[in-house]
Amino acid sequence: MKVYEFTLRPLSAFGTPLKGDTIFGQFCWQVANDHSLASGPLPELLADYSTNPFLVFSSAFPVFTEGGRRTYALRIPSLPIEWLFEVSDDRVRIMERKELKKKRWMLLSMDDGLDVLSGRDDMFLSDGELLERIRSCMSTHLRSRPVDTGLVVSLKRSHNTINRLTGTTGTGTFAPFTLEDHVYMPGTELVVFAGIDESRIDVAGVRMYLQRIGLLGFGRDASTGRGRFEVLDTREVWLDRMGSTSPGACYTLSPCVPGTDEFRDIFFTPFTRFGRHGDVLARSSNPFKSPVIMADEGAVMVPSSDGVFSRPYVGRAVKGISKVEGGTVSQGYSLYIPVRIER
């Protein structure tokens, strides 16, 4: 399996965050509708997904070029705050913790060779600090545009369901409701890493399917113009070059379901995926999948043995989550950066 990065440019607001398991789900619908770019139909590709995944997506992360170096803004590791920063033991400790908890981003470049996750205060940024770093690298006309306080702005959008008998809204199913959209700052670029088994689907095919997703729209409310993006660039990358040469843990890049007895220690933020079917199954008798509890991206997992580092992904496939389609598979795998942690 080789790892490639796909650079995306958002063209509209998003109703659904670009997380790895959701990208994989929508990608599978593209293959199901047209498998001409793959080695076979979707059921064949998923037949051994539990032991040999043909494709693993990361979540989408901001990326920018600073001083000639391509810099990735990843989620801060889900480690105790005392392991990441030097925190005072006196009465100012509470105020320090409040400020440090605002630092949600970790900056890495491909040749950083990150050895130890802790003790590197300079690589962790808040939303505002990341925004300023990215804006300083943009062209003049993009920097001149007014923006909010963060790279991504969440907006509430009202919806109405009209009762055709009365011609108005009402109560119950006809009550007005709001949904949240996520809008990226103009000029933002995102990167999605993908582990690809090129014996079953090549990188050109993956790029074409992603372009179709960007054209049709990703996630919720795609039919109303949400989730549009374009694919700007594709290139092969080596995630271990961002990590340690003597790793002791895996820093994950998408929501993950760890394998049984695969890790002896895990630091993570829980994330529950309340999934639902798309495409033709969205109108089935039961479009909702069973909830799946995952470790969100940014988890740090300490493996039980060094054999984990022999492959570029961790985790497992998730099955048995649908009552209307028995072959449904969810991506519980995650690509990772090999790291070392010290208390």
For 205, the 3-state DSSP assignment is helix
User: Residues 269-313: pLDDT tens digits?
Assistant: 999 999 888 878 888 888 888 999 999 998 999 988 888 888 899
Tallying the residues shown for the chain, one arrives at 343
- Indicate the pLDDT class of residue 55, thresholds 50, 70 and 90: very high
User: Residues 125-153: pLDDT tens digits?
Assistant: 888 888 888 887 776 655 555 565 667 77
User: Residues 196-234: pLDDT tens digits?
Assistant: 998 899 999 999 999 999 999 888 888 888 889 999 999
Query: Domain range spanning residue 160?
Result: 2-339
The structure's pTM equals 0.88
Per-residue model confidence (pLDDT) at position 143: 55
Per-residue model confidence (pLDDT) at position 195: 93
Query: Quick one: tokens of 117?
Result: 């996750």
User: Residues 56-85: pLDDT tens digits?
Assistant: 999 999 998 877 788 888 998 888 877 777
CA distances from 184 to 9, 15, 70, 314, 324 (A): 10, 12, 19, 30, 35
Longest dimension (CA), the chain: 69
- Indicate the pLDDT class of residue 175, thresholds 50, 70 and 90: confident
d(CA 139, CA 30): 35
Residue pair 206/235 in contact (Cβ under 8 Å)? The answer is: no
Q: What percent of the chain has pLDDT over 70?
A: 90
Most confident among 115-119, 140-144, 175-179 (mean pLDDT): 175-179
Give the count of domains, the chain. Answer: 1
- Indicate the pLDDT class of residue 93, thresholds 50, 70 and 90: low
